[in-house]
Structure 1
Amino acid sequence: MDWILLRGLTREKAHWGDFRERLETAFPRHRFHVIDLPGTGEHFREVSPATIADIRQKVQACAAPIEGPIGLLGLSMGGMVALDWAQAEPKRVGQLVLINTSTGFSPPWQRMRPGALGKALGLMARRTPTVRERGILALTSNRPVTPEVHHRWLHIQQRRPVTFRNAVAQLRAAVSYRPCSAAPAARALLLASAGDRIVHWHCSRTLARRWQWPLMVHPDAGHDLVLDDPQWIIQQLMAFIEQCPG
């Protein structure tokens, strides 16, 4: 099966680090693709739409050459795009993995925890990339961040900077997102971090209860679960992906 990985707010495919390679090693029968959201990565010169549906349509167009059925793995806002895609294209999206995401089914204070919105807006407005990226890492990760990671993330931003306008548009899209009431046809797995200081893990629990989806909660990782504990994610995916066809 072909899997598409979608990152979150102002992040791009380079922020996956070696996670794609880890997945390819763990699941050699599957193929993993990374696609940037509009306004980030290779599309950083584009203007980001301000709704999840419009962002999703842009991503769908990029994924057109990949034959279905496909699996989607989305982190944070990437999870919103993945969920919207699964609802819009049920015959194509067969598997769905959502990590630390949220929807309009949860209250605003869980979708963006108290204090996190102000910090996020303050970081977006920072003109100095070094300060901004260090602040983002401090907010999204609960692990000691090595100088190598700091340097790599700074280099990503310097090479393909996300504009303040695009950051705000993506934030508007994420805050306003509310999926359709009916569950997607895709088989789904929810992963969340109990230590997430941006999105409360109860947002994932709300989806799990609403649609009877399995939920696994990491005890102490931060919002960027892929950065904090990628091997834990792979362990949770083992039972899930190995049951997928293809």
Structure 2
Amino acid sequence: MSAWILLRGLARERRHWARLPDRLRARGLIEEIVCVDLPGSGEYAHEHAPTSIAATTDFVRAQLAASGRAPPYRVVALSLGAMVAVDWSQRFPLELERLVLINTSLRGYNEPFERLRPSAWPQLARAAWCWHARTRRRAESAIHTLTCRRIDEREADLAAWTAIYESAPPSRRNAFRQVLAAARFHGGRSAPCCPTLVLSSRNDALVHPACSAKLAAIWGATLIEHPWAGHDLPHDDSAWLADTIAAWVGNAWTVALPSASA
């Protein structure tokens, strides 16, 4: 039975998925759900993050093989993780059965000012400046402001995210190496061979939602936009995300509309 592989984005790790794995199971996804950290984050915070997406893909594949999990896989991936998923689908198409790509972008498809919105630069600079442990809460605050639109649990989020950092701190150097890998990655012109669902957030302040729309249009993939969430869609509305994935997998296109308020 194909496992679901969950891949997070820049300097984030498996614990940042929070409620999503449990919500996916509750929606009837009976396959194993495996959250894999990218090199330089989480379980692999001690590793040097590669400066290429291809090397990151190879690392993820090697970890799955070492754990005894064999393809084909189903992948849910966010942002940088979704670039890994695209590379994976283009270099090893027989290994992937389904793809869900969330708020991502690709060089060659999307403009630089869409891939990283200029309005995001001040918060990114603040996060980078406050990266280390003694100022970490400020860094997480900047990340939250930039990536999240749901703020009712902001203080709890900041406490949890700061604790995650303290237990497995990704280095600022590794974060920059991941940024370099993302900037250099040029997705091939071929569409993924497997069924692909592209999800975007209308209020994404980091990556313009036009990036997802362009990818879906060029590939002929299904595109669904969340009406109010930010870049971190799994944080802002994990229930909607789980409902949407489960409906797509079951070809049940009556997907419950998300709440209009955060």
Q: Which amino acid aligns with 1:87?
A: Q
Q: Which residue of 1 aligns with 2:80?
A: 77
Between 1:114-123 and 1:46-55, the stretch displaced more is 114-123
Residues 125 and 164 of structure 1 are in contact (CA less than 8 Å); yes or no, is this contact kept in structure 2? Answer: no
Q: Residue 13 of structure 1: CA displacement?
A: 0.3
Q: Which residue of 1 aligns with 2:3?
A: 2
- Measure the CA separation in 2 of the matches of 1:138 and 1:28: 32
Q: Residue 238 of structure 1: CA displacement?
A: 2.2
Q: Residue 231 of structure 1: CA displacement?
A: 1.1
Partner residue of 2:110 out of 106, 121, 128? 106
Q: Residue 28 of structure 1: CA displacement?
A: 4.1
Q: Residue 102 of structure 1: CA displacement?
A: 0.6
Q: Which residue of 2 aligns with 1:66?
A: 69
Q: Which residue of 2 aligns with 1:228?
A: 236
Between 1:125-134 and 1:69-78, the stretch displaced more is 125-134
Q: Which runs of 4+ in 1 moved over 2 A?
A: none
Identity over aligned pairs, percent:
37
Q: TM-score, normalised by structure 2?
A: 0.90
Q: Which residue of 1 aligns with 2:129?
A: 125
- Measure the CA separation in 1 of the matches of 2:229 and 2:250: 25
Residues 6 and 33 of structure 2 are in contact (CA less than 8 Å); yes or no, is this contact kept in structure 1? Answer: yes
Residues 137 and 145 of structure 1 are in contact (CA less than 8 Å); yes or no, is this contact kept in structure 2? Answer: no
Question: Structure 1 residues 191, 92: closer, same or farther in 2, change over 3 A?
Answer: same
Q: Which amino acid aligns with 1:142?
A: R
Once the two structures are superposed, the pairs formed by residues 78-227 of structure 1 within 5 Å of their partners are 78-104=81-107, 105-126=109-130, 127=132, 128-146=135-153, 147-227=155-235
Q: Residue 241 of structure 1: CA displacement?
A: 1.7
Q: In structure 1, the residue corresponding to 2:24 is in which secondary structure? A: helix
1:20-70 superposed Cα distances (whole Å, 9 cap, x missing partner): 111112124221100000000010011101111111111111111212211
Q: In structure 1, the residue corresponding to 2:175 is in which secondary structure? A: helix
Residues 192 and 201 of structure 1 are in contact (CA less than 8 Å); yes or no, is this contact kept in structure 2? Answer: yes
The gaps in structure 1 that reach 5 residues or longer are none
Q: Residue 129 of structure 1: CA displacement?
A: 0.7
Q: Residue 167 of structure 1: CA displacement?
A: 0.5
Q: In structure 2, the residue corresponding to 1:91 is in which secondary structure? A: helix
- Measure the CA separation in 2 of the matches of 1:29 and 1:129: 37
Q: Which residue of 2 aligns with 1:12?
A: 13
The gaps in structure 2 that reach 5 residues or longer are 252-262
Q: Which residue of 1 aligns with 2:57?
A: 56
Q: Residue 118 of structure 1: CA displacement?
A: 4.3
Question: Structure 1 residues 121, 172: closer, same or farther in 2, change over 3 A?
Answer: farther
CA RMSD of aligned residues (A): 1.2
- Aligned length, in residue pairs: 243
Q: In structure 1, the residue corresponding to 2:118 is in which secondary structure? A: coil
Residues 192 and 217 of structure 1 are in contact (CA less than 8 Å); yes or no, is this contact kept in structure 2? Answer: yes
Q: Which residue of 1 aligns with 2:42?
A: 41
Residues 141 and 158 of structure 2 are in contact (CA less than 8 Å); yes or no, is this contact kept in structure 1? Answer: yes
- Measure the CA separation in 2 of the matches of 1:92 and 1:232: 27
- Measure the CA separation in 2 of the matches of 1:72 and 1:19: 14
